A and B are shown apart, each in its own frame.
Chain A
Amino acid sequence: MRISFLRYFFRQALGNIFENRMVHLIGVGTMVIAFLIFDAFVLAFVNMNAWTQERGRTLTMSIYFKGDPDRSAIEDIQRELLDYPVSVTRFISKQDAMKSLRRQLGERAGLLDGLKENPLPASLEIILSRDEIDDSLPYELKKKLEGIEHVDEVQYSQEWIDRIQAVLGVIEIVGLVFGGLLFLAALFIVTNTIKLTIYSRKDEIEILKLVGATNGFVKAPFLIEGSIQGFLGGSVAMSILFLGYILVTNKVDLRIGFGALDLVFLSPEFILLLVATSVIAGLIGSTVSLGRFFRI
């Protein structure tokens, strides 16, 4: 494409924006709101996903013993575990388990007074590093340990990770639907803004076509206008989100469940992708309005 054309297109697009600045201001403002909701949703999802992945990196396994194990029974198991990436091992005797239960029950610990003997099993808690094992290993280890004479049962922390990931899966679907709707809303906004500027330039379009302008030549400034609107909407929304992120992470100590949650912002690639999405929304919006209008 010739430079003179490009210069002409941009001059026209910027002229259109300036002449219809109020319409564009409202359009960009509405797009900012739509993209801000969309981007915030993506940010929340990215953080939740990172959080579960962080939690899922280690796997806790409890090995319950039959009766009260002696030192050699514990050593047998520890020997078995030498081949695995076990980072922490903690033995909880029957008495420790009872103390822990009493602590948890608090005022209602008296309920335990009637027991003739301690029913809680002794256990060995281990933490496996997930980075070094594949998905089938916890199950294999469980089976192997359950084969040892003194071991009664083995449980591991996979279940709740699976559950959270299932919830995240649902959130992902809801997010896609919700994001899709917001994208459509942004399209609708651009379509109508560009339609207004097209109407305000109806005479000009007619004259341009009469003097031999191709459809592409007439349309290009409007497409650029839509893209600029999308870019402004997307960039301002992203900037507001970043400001919000700075404010939240500096002032609020977010705690969810097991510990402090370190919020992360979107990666540069993700930021580019989201701003590019808003430009594409602007481009599609203006294409739609031009398609509807262009019957001269």
Chain B
Amino acid sequence: MIRLFNVYKSYGAENPALTDISVEVTKGEFVFVTGPSGAGKTTLLKMIFCAEQPTSGHALVNGRNLNRIKDKDVALLRRSIGVIFQDFKLLTRRSVFENVALSLEVAGIQPALTRKRVHQTLRYLGLADKEGYYPPQLSGGEQQRVAIARAVVNNPLILLADEPTGNLDHELTMEIMALLEEIHRRGTTVVIATHSQELLAGTMKRIIKLSKGRIV
């Protein structure tokens, strides 16, 4: 599903953000990417959803070569990848429903089907009664669930989460993790970048450790 071969990413003369990264994530896998701040976790995730291109090396995601991908194909690839951010990246001027519907609207899904899928997803994530709310009216945990709803509403093949529980307390962290595991059980490949030892404690999942841009 995701294959990186000797990938380097550098932003100039400074130390490269990623150095000689070779990694494979198979379909249906649940993987943690961990390491201290500045280790390159976010850069790695950005590369997977085409927000960054490798300086050298090769990256393949869902069979597409990211070194040679066209703008239009980037959009198509992103429709098969759901992304969750630490800061949620919700549109504050749009309702919960509208935020979640975005992922379907960009794909040209008919409004009736969009409504149905958004209702289903919000119900699944326990947000059925918050449809008309605006993000600033919600708690942090609720906002993160909206972000998850937006990421999974179109049934993506891959779900990427960058510090998904970074802003949440223990209880909410466990709640969000339980949701991500539930999504994984439905067949989605999940990659979570985190520096939280709390999430990794006792996990049986594969952990990719990064330090100063290298896998250690």
Task: Report the minimum CB–CB distance from A194 to chain B (whole Å).
Answer: 19
CA distance in complex: A8, B110 (Å) = 11
Residues on B with beta carbons closer than 8 Å to the beta carbon of A5: 108
With contact pairs A4-B110, A215-B71 given, residues A207 and B76 touching in the complex (Cβ less than 8 Å): no
Total contacts A to B, CB within 8 angstroms? Answer: 53
With contact pairs A4-B111, A8-B105 given, residues A212 and B78 touching in the complex (Cβ less than 8 Å): yes
Q: Which of A4, A19, A207, A214 contacts B89 (CB 8 A)?
A: A207
* Cβ–Cβ contact B110 & A212, under 8 A: no
* Cβ–Cβ contact A211 & B106, under 8 A: yes
- 1/0 per position for A173-209, CB-CB distance to B under 8 A? 0000000000000000000000000000001101111
CA distance in complex: A203, B105 (Å) = 17
In this complex, the interface size class of chain A, counting residues with CB under 8 Å from chain B, is 10 to 19
CA distance in complex: A213, B109 (Å) = 12
Residues on A with beta carbons closer than 8 Å to the beta carbon of B41: none
Residues on A with beta carbons closer than 8 Å to the beta carbon of B103: 211-212
With contact pairs A4-B110, A5-B108, A204-B91 given, residues A211 and B72 touching in the complex (Cβ less than 8 Å): no
Max count, chain B CB within 10 A of own CB: residue among A2, A8, A19, A207: A207
Task: Report the minimum CB–CB distance from A295 to chain B (whole Å).
Answer: 12
**In the complex, chain A residues 1-31 whose Cβ is within 8 Å of any chain B Cβ:** 2, 4-5, 7-8, 19
Smallest Cβ-Cβ distance to A217: which chain B residue: B106
**In the complex, chain A residues 206-233 whose Cβ is within 8 Å of any chain B Cβ:** 206-215, 217
* Cβ–Cβ contact B108 & A210, under 8 A: no
| B9 at interface by CB-CB < 8 Å | no
Residues on A with beta carbons closer than 8 Å to the beta carbon of B107: 212
Residues on A with beta carbons closer than 8 Å to the beta carbon of B108: 2, 4-5
CA distance in complex: A215, B78 (Å) = 13
Residues on A with beta carbons closer than 8 Å to the beta carbon of B105: 4, 8
* Cβ–Cβ contact B71 & A212, under 8 A: no
With contact pairs A2-B108, A4-B108, A207-B102 given, residues A214 and B75 touching in the complex (Cβ less than 8 Å): yes
* Cβ–Cβ contact A208 & B110, under 8 A: no
Smallest Cβ-Cβ distance to B80: which chain A residue: A212
With contact pairs A5-B108, A207-B102, A217-B106 given, residues A212 and B75 touching in the complex (Cβ less than 8 Å): yes
Report A's interface with B, CB cutoff 8 A: 2, 4-5, 7-8, 19, 203-204, 206-215, 217
Report B's interface with A, CB cutoff 8 A: 49, 51, 71-72, 75-79, 83, 89-91, 93, 102-103, 105-111, 150
Query: Could you list 30 A-B pairs, sorted by A, with CB under 8 Å?
Result: A2-B108, A4-B108, A4-B109, A4-B111, A7-B111, A203-B91, A206-B89, A207-B89, A207-B91, A207-B102, A208-B102, A208-B106, A210-B49, A210-B78, A210-B83, A211-B79, A211-B83, A211-B106, A212-B75, A212-B78, A212-B79, A212-B103, A212-B106, A212-B107, A213-B75, A213-B106, A214-B72, A215-B71, A215-B75, A217-B75
